[in-house]
Structure 1
Amino acid sequence: MCSSVIQVDVIVPSHTKYLDLIGSIGERIVKELDGYTGDREALAYQLNLVLTEATANVIKHANDDQHKDTVRISIHLQRDQLIIKVYDHGQGFDLDKVPAPDFDHPTEGGMGLFFIRSMMDSVTYTRQTEYNVLEIIKNL
């Protein structure tokens, strides 16, 4: 789809006021998709939501005292895939044990991973030596 490769690495302060900035980066990347024939508006919305939710989760749940000041996001756009990696230094969690939202009794919060999983093609969460990585892949 896209003839060029784009790599964007973003480190922002661990504060919710930067969520709009992170979401808008996703929207802007969609504009750079040469030859993309899908619904650009829908993809821009999805990337905004996914980046915002993933970053908000790190800010809220996943930074230890030593690394609490920043959130790192890596966005890699290649020919037919968009790969997003969100890094955290928290205790980590088991992605497979995150319960599905209770749609009969909705609560505030708890929908982010559900949205990410339903909009993207692959979502994994792995523990590395010094950090955790939420990897999100969207096939283009």
Structure 2
Amino acid sequence: MDVIQQRERLVVPSQLTALNPIQAWFRQFCLQNEGRYPWLAHQCDHLNLALAEGFTNAVRHAHRGLPPETPIEIALALHEDWIEIRIWDYGRPFNPDRLKEPQPGTLQSGGYGWFLLRRLTDRVSYDRYIDGRNCLQLVTYGFKHPV
């Protein structure tokens, strides 16, 4: 049975100015837990980058056209040997699996975020829930270091 060891939650407005406090909050979470879970220290920078990418995508894309007060919820769940980050937004439904992977040597103005998230974490999903929110779920296992 897998038990959640530590759980944290943060709700912020849909504004890019919230990114620095979010990243500081996540770094503090890592520091508080890496003594008990040493693998977390090796994952923290990758996960903080993934968190920043997921949050900025929610602000720039999912919440485009919505008031800046629209909340974005971030939830962390630390297990014995893995961590889950969930980022909840109120945007329209979107299927990121329909994106085409950028070709090496080509330059495009955007669309790299989903592929970056898949490189930084072990499992990524983006699903629509019945309450009208979308959830970006990022999972990383402690026994494997991301690329």
Shorter-chain TM range is 0.7 to 0.9
Distance 2:70 2:129 in 1: 20
Deviation at 1:56, TM superposition (A): 0.3
1:111 equivalenced with 2:112 (yes/no):
yes
Over 3 Å counting, the alpha-carbon distance change for 1:17 and 1:122 in structure 2 is same
Aligned to 1:95: 96
SS in 1 for 2:100: coil
SS in 2 for 1:60: helix
Answer yes or no: is the 8 Å Cα contact 1:67–1:89 preserved in 2: no
Once the two structures are superposed, the pairs formed by residues 70-81 of structure 1 within 5 Å of their partners are 70-81=71-82
Distance 1:4 1:88 in 2: 23
Answer yes or no: is the 8 Å Cα contact 1:23–1:47 preserved in 2: no
SS in 2 for 1:99: coil
Listed one character per residue, the Cα deviations across residues 99-130 of structure 1 (whole Å, up to 9, x for unaligned) are: 22344123343222211111111101111112
Deviation at 1:138, TM superposition (A): 0.7
SS in 2 for 1:101: coil
Question: Can you give the 5+ residue segments of structure 1 that lack an aligned partner in the other structure?
Answer: none
TM-score using structure 2 length: 0.80
The alignment-based identity, stated in percent, is 25
Aligned to 2:141: 139
Distance 1:66 1:44 in 2: 31
Answer yes or no: is the 8 Å Cα contact 1:5–1:76 preserved in 2: yes
Over 3 Å counting, the alpha-carbon distance change for 1:139 and 1:57 in structure 2 is same
Once the two structures are superposed, the pairs formed by residues 1-140 of structure 1 within 5 Å of their partners are 5-31=5-31, 32-38=33-39, 40=41, 42-63=42-63, 65=66, 69-129=70-130, 130-140=132-142
TM-score using structure 1 length: 0.84
Listed one character per residue, the Cα deviations across residues 40-93 of structure 1 (whole Å, up to 9, x for unaligned) are: 2x5221111111110000001113647852211111111111111111111121
Deviation at 1:35, TM superposition (A): 4.1
SS in 2 for 1:5: strand
Structural RMSD (CA): 2.3
Answer yes or no: is the 8 Å Cα contact 1:123–1:137 preserved in 2: yes
Equivalent AA in structure 2 for residue 16 of structure 1: L
